Homo-oligomer: A and B are copies of this chain.
Amino acid sequence: MIPSTLDAVVTEIADEMRARSDRGVVASYIPELGRIDPNQFAITVVTQDGQVASGGDCDVPFSIQSVSKVFTLTLALGLAGDRVWNRVGREPSGSPFNSIVQLEREKGIPRNPFINAGAIAVTDVILSGHQPREAIGEILRFMQFLADDDGIYIDHNVAASEDESGFNNRALANFMKGFGVLDNPVEYILGVYFHHCAIAMTCRQLATAGRFLANNGVRPETGYSVVTQERARRINAIMLTCGHYDGSGEFAYRVGLPAKSGVGGGILAIVPGRASVAVWSPGLDTTGNSHLGRIALEMLTTRLGWTIFGPGAV
């Protein structure tokens, strides 16, 4: 792959995305997110060897929302190891991101760590033995460390907005608590959860933070091992099967990469051995995933021949 090709493709995609009129619908159930201008688009690709290709609003911070679930899972696995799997599964849910039906059928154990209920259970693991403030700080510092950027911050207006309107997440957390799946007080857990969802990052920062997942668990620029090779692969596997809620199969079919989306319109996608990619466009499709973000990734992988389901470009 010639660097200039990547730059060209990324620029091309940013241009095409800017021009499109179908932009999806901005999430409005969190009022603070509903105010975002849907005409924004950003993409950043960071390759294994440190090349960075960006397009669009790649230095505008956005609310990473559920993309944070990849990082809280990583953190929780570091803290508690496979005990995390005692309280959350690893199967696609076959249901919308906020469904409570499955929880009743399966006695409060969420299907996977990337739906809301599962991420709440993961947050409970991180919180253990900490005050909410400490846990929030730990998660934020982990993001800053991975992105190598102390400027990453939590948008407290978004966190407050989620707190005020977070009835569904309160329902999920109380429901799990009723089954004994959560250790900490519900309001503590939700406090941490709402704050890590409200982390604001740029595409540039997010793509940088994801690099260890493309590189067997190691941050390539420093050689520092964040997780073992096995764990990195397994996190990628869960991103592939569960990263886009009830649109995960469609995303795998069209894009063919492990990826995690958030209702803020961001998506982090991993090209194992090659690159970490972040895209952002606030409008969502009916499954709650970034409409243009998915299309942009499909263009990128098609044009560069990046996929985990074929031999790959040569």
Contacts and interface: CB of A to CB of B under 8 A. Distances in A.
A153 to B, nearest CB: 28
Copies in the complex: 4
Interface stretch (A33-41, A66-74, A136-144, A252-260): A252-260
Contacts of A112: 249
Contacts of A111: 94, 249
Interface in A157-179: 167-168, 170-175, 177-178
Nearest to A29: B178
Interface string A299-314: 0000000011111100
A146 B263 CA distance: 44
Interface in A58-97: 89-95
Contact of A249 (B89, B186, B216): B89
A232 interface: yes
A241 B92 contact: yes
A174 B178 contact: no
Interface in A229-265: 229, 232-234, 236-238, 240-242, 246-250, 252-253, 256, 258
